[in-house]
Every structure is written in C-alpha cells, then in structure tokens.
Structure 1
C-alpha cells in the first residue's frame, strides 16, 4: 500500500512540476524591411479563429505610412463570393524592432478601448525574396501561412509547414485556402 501511495504522490508531484511552465515563445526573424514587406499577401492557410470563421480566401494589403506605421487592409472572400474587409494599423511592439508588431483594427471595440485591444503580429519566417512568410503570436494560438501568390509549389508549402511545426504550431488544424472554382460567382 505504501508503494502505491508513494507512486501516486510521485506522479502527482511530477504533474504539478509541469504546471505553470509555458513553452518559450516562438522565434521571430529579427528584422523585417517594412518597405519590402508592404504590398499584397495571400493567405495560404491559417489556424482557426473566430473573426475569420466565414473566410474561404483571405488577403492582406500592407502599406508603409509616413510615420513608420503600416496601414493594413484585410480582405476576406466568403464561399458565396462576397468580400468583407477590415482596416487597421500596425506599429512595432518595441521601437526599432520590426518583426514584432501590434495590430489594431478600426472597429467599435477598438474605438471604445483604444489602448487595450490589439493583436500580436510576429513574423516567424520570411524568405530572402519576401515571397513567403509565417506570421503568428507568442502563445501559438494564431498562425498564418502567407505568400505573394495565391498558390505555391508543394516544396514551398512543405517548407512552410516544417518551419511552423519546428516553432511548435499544430499544423494539423490548419484551414487551407479554398480554390477559386469553389467560390460562388457574385
């Protein structure tokens, strides 16, 4: 009986030792040339999230502003062929560090709580040509696989998946971009 109780207590202590210990945040790329990063990015895949629940195809348009911030226009196309959009602004979380940004969208809740409602936009991977990127957040709840084109080669897709997995993201839960042929004509 003592051995059984001892084993139970050891198991309980081992379980408690892991409690509260969080994984280190994912690594970011270190620096992003925001001038090169601006332009259109197509979402190849994403982890599920509430505000994109109706999106079959998404794209983001970034434009560098005179004050150094980045203007954001996110567009989402539904299966019915309707476009929805959200406008916002991104700024570095730390001055001079361009791979970790705060993004705020212009909506009623951000106008109500302007300094409290913002999202992490961490650039986790960016190829040398600024053609593909992985964007996520520190707790790995959000992830986007992005490209300058709506479709990429299988080799590029695999590289993005392997990079995301190496960063601790659950790629089995990704929602992939729907083909144009599956979208209803408006």
Structure 2
C-alpha cells in the first residue's frame, strides 16, 4: 500500500472516528429512539448481489481495499445464506460465509447474522444485528445498521449511484439517527475510487 493511500485512509478514518466519538461521548446519547426498520422487506427481492458503496468502519472489514460485495441466497430452511467477499490491500481475494435469520416476522427487516468462528458473531441464533432501515426504488439500494447504530452499510445493486440517489441515501442515514460523516465510501470497480467521509463526498 503506498503512502498516498495510507494518508488518505488515515485522514478519512480520523475524521469519521472523531465525529463518532463526539456524538457518542460518555453522557451523550446519539439517538434515544429505537432503530426503525422498513415496514415490509420482501426477502425474495432482497436476495442477490449487493455492492458495498459506503460503510461505518469496522474491525472485520479493514482487510478489504475494494470491491466489497454481499451475495444473498436462501438455504433449505428458508434462512439467508450470506457470502461476503472483497479484494484485499495486497490484491488477493477475501471472503466469508454466514447465515442471516429473520427475527422480526412483522417486517422481516430485522435479522440476526452469524459467521462461524468469528468472535461475537458466531452464535447461530440471537437478537437482531442487521436492520434494513431504508430501500431505494425497486430495491436499487439499501441502508443497513444495527440496534446500537454502531455499524452501517450502504448497499447497491450497481457499483455506482447517481447524485440524486446519494442525496436520498444521506437523508435516509440522517433519518435513521446516524451521521453521514461516520460512513466512508468504499472503492468499487466502476464506481468511486476514493475513501472519503460520505458527508464530504
């Protein structure tokens, strides 16, 4: 990884971390209301390939340099098979497979995602840790977070979104009680090639 990339990453992570720390400092409640899922998630329409276009930095995705994607299919029990993949900083592939189980039959938009062997995420069943809070027209993009709003993912059916769609994504992030500055854009072939806080992108 060259120094320019390291400097870009460092600046972007620093800004996102500083913003997150300011909002979630001891004694400060970022958002008191529970996370609201979409009213009705059509799981069959949600299946397929999603490209990660932005995300709140997490320890488990720091290995990914670009082209992070998720492929969702159904298993024999009706649960969602999750296959996450990306290209690492050394140019090699990285992937992991898990399972998502619906824990909210009313909306079907709150799921528990597990990955065998991953600390804190290896329990096959449990409370919701994946909440779909917004969807674009025709399921063209999705916004996902968790009950504590510590994670966040902007997913798209295509490697890029039009400016108007990005405006709707930022509005959805704010409506979900999060800050667009927490999200860093994810380099994607055919889309963004930079790592930039979403509030400045």
The interval holding the TM-score normalised by the smaller chain is: 0.7 to 0.9
Q: State the shift of 1:80 in Å.
A: 2.6
35-44 or 169-178: bigger deviation: 169-178
83-92 or 167-176: bigger deviation: 167-176
Match of 1:149 in 2: 158
Q: Secondary structure at the match of 1:56?
A: strand
Q: Does 1:62 align with 2:72?
A: yes
Q: Distance in 2 between matches of 1:38 and 1:108?
A: 23
Structure 2: runs of 5+ lacking an equivalent: 1-26, 195-201
Deviation sequence 1:138-161 (CA, Å, 0-9, x none): 111011011000111111111101
Question: Higher Cα Rg: structure 1 or 2?
Answer: 1
Structure holding more strand per residue: 1
Which of 170, 174, 177 is residue 183 of structure 2 equivalent to? 174
The answer to whether the Cα contact below 8 Å between 1:76 and 1:84 also exists between their aligned partners in 2 is yes
Match of 2:117 in 1: 107
Q: CA RMSD for the aligned pairs?
A: 2.7
Instruction: Please report the TM-score for the alignment, with normalisation by the length of structure 1.
Output: 0.78
The answer to whether the Cα contact below 8 Å between 1:109 and 1:117 also exists between their aligned partners in 2 is no
Count of aligned residue pairs for this structure pair: 165
Instruction: Please report the TM-score for the alignment, with normalisation by the length of structure 2.
Output: 0.72
Q: State the shift of 1:130 in Å.
A: 1.0
Q: State the shift of 1:110 in Å.
A: 7.2
